[in-house]
């Protein structure tokens, strides 16, 4: 730890076109900086040393939350505080507002953006400390050895790397079927949330569809109104109530009929694998049922089925089951 950043050139575009052009020009030597709450750690630790920082805080097209009729459009520069307090988001998608409101601490939420929150890198301590692991281009996983500290790591889908998604908003966006609009070379492409978050089997060196070395810029998050007004739930368990990453979190959206039976549900957990994990077994078993103690027991049994804990994170499987159960319990109220 030197707390002394490397020398870089800071570029401050004031329009989207300018930002995209700068990213195209600088490619793998460039680094988008939004609120900087993830990026500055990398630079202060001198593990990542990009030559050019493209500060997108002056790009007005990247701000704002707008009602577009069949969806809402969220700019990636919207801060987590604004997202958690926005009336439209609170009314339609409380699961997202609650998730944003549980990130880190008030100070970090005032500066950290939704774009940065979903594009942030994993918090595996070995990788963040600069160990030459698979994710860093090396040939081993330091977190998956008999003596490694892997309390925060994965339960599922360990493919060479056992790091997990750290984003609290990612599971909420997953259950809301969000779509991400990404700019590259002056063109836009839209990526569904299931393809946006990327596991090590697709690319071990990134966590999302945003490819930094190709100059990608996330320009918008769209949330269709399919789940607007549904019953929603978010809960996060961490070692501390604030200023801490999730050990496990859960996000849920459910449509409940007038007689109390569940018509449809989407539920996902974060911090249990490299991408948000949709609990498909839970989703299918609850349809047509009413939330009650019997259903909770079933949910508890299947939620973490297939988990393969590491040496120090066995506690995560029952924690995940309990969170899924509590999400379903919220529907009985």
Ligand X SMILES: Cc1cc2nc3c(=O)[nH]c(=O)nc-3n(C[C@H](O)[C@H](O)[C@H](O)COP(=O)(O)OP(=O)(O)OC[C@H]3O[C@@H](n4cnc5c(N)ncnc54)[C@H](O)[C@@H]3O)c2cc1C
- Which residue shows structure tokens 């988990």? 307
Nearer to ligand X, 32 or 248 (CB): 32
Residue 28 or residue 305: which is nearer to ligand X going by CB?
28
Give me the least distance between CB of 243 and ligand X, in Å please: 6
- 233: its two tokens: 């739930």
In angstroms, the CA 321 to CA 313 distance is 14
Residue whose CB is less far from ligand X, 32 or 320: 32
As a whole number of angstroms, the distance between CA 189 and CA 60 comes to: 20
* Burial tier of 3 (Cβ tally within 10 Å: 0-12, 13-18, 19+): exposed
In the three-class reduction of DSSP (H, G, I as helix; E, B as strand; rest coil), residue 278 is classed as strand
Minimum CB–partner distance for residue 217 and ligand X (Å) = 5
Q: Which is nearer to ligand X, 31 or 196 (CB)?
A: 31
Under 8 Å between Cβ of 239 and 247: yes
**126/245 with CB nearer ligand X:** 245
Q: Quote the least distance from Cβ 173 to ligand X, whole Å.
A: 12
Measured CA to CA, the distance from residue 33 to residue 143 in angstroms comes to 28
**Residue 293 Cβ, how far from ligand X at the closest point, in Å?**
32
Nearer to ligand X, 217 or 285 (CB): 217
Angle (CA) 152-157-158 rounded to 5° is 60
**Which residue's Cβ lies closest to ligand X?**
116
Buried b (16+ CB within 10 A) or exposed e, 29-48: ebbbbbbbbbbeebbeeeeb
* Minimum distance of ligand X from residue 35's CB (angstroms): 3
Of residues 80, 125, 99, the one with CA closest to residue 249: 99
Comparison of 53 and 155: residue with beta carbon closer to ligand X:
53
Q: Smallest distance, Å, CB 136 to ligand X?
A: 15
Residues of this chain that bind ligand X (CB under 6 A): 31-39, 41, 56, 76, 80, 103-104, 108, 111-113, 115-117, 119-120, 166-168, 210, 217-218, 243-245
Query: What is the DSSP secondary structure assignment for residue 190, as one 8-state letter?
Result: E
CB of 255 to ligand X, least distance (A): 27
């Amino acid at each position: 730890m030197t707390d002394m950043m490397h020398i870089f050139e800071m570029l401050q575009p004031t329009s989207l076109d300018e930002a995209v052009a700068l990213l195209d020009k600088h490619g793998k030597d460039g680094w988008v900086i939004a609120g900087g709450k993830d990026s500055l750690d990398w630079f202060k630790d001198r593990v990542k040393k990009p030559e050019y920082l493209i500060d997108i805080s002056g790009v007005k097209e990247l701000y704002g939350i707008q009602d577009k009729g069949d969806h809402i459009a969220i700019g990636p520069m919207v801060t987590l505080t604004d997202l958690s307090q926005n009336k439209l988001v609170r009314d339609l998608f409380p699961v997202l507002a609650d998730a944003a409101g549980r990130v880190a601490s008030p100070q970090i939420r005032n500066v950290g953006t939704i774009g940065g929150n979903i594009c942030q890198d994993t918090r595996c301590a070995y990788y963040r400390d600069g160990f030459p692991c698979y994710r860093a281009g090396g040939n081993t996983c330091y977190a998956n050895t008999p003596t490694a500290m892997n309390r925060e790591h994965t339960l599922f889908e360990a493919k060479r790397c056992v790091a997990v998604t750290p984003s609290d908003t990612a599971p909420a966006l997953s259950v809301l079927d969000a779509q991400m609009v990404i700019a590259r070379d002056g063109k836009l492409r839209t990526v569904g949330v299931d393809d946006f978050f990327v596991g090590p089997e697709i690319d071990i060196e990134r966590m999302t569809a945003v490819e930094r070395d190709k100059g990608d810029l996330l320009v918008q998050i769209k949330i269709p109104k399919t789940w607007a007004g549904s019953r929603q739930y978010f809960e996060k368990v961490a070692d501390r109530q604030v200023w801490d990453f999730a050990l496990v979190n859960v996000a849920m959206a459910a449509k409940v009929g007038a007689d109390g039976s569940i018509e449809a549900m989407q539920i996902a957990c974060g911090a249990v694998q490299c991408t948000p994990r949709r609990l498909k077994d839970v989703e299918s078993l609850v349809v047509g049922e009413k939330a009650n103690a019997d259903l909770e027991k079933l949910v508890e049994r299947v939620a973490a089925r297939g988990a393969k804990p590491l040496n120090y994170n066995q506690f995560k499987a029952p924690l995940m089951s309990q969170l899924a159960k509590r999400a379903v319990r919220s529907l009985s109220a």
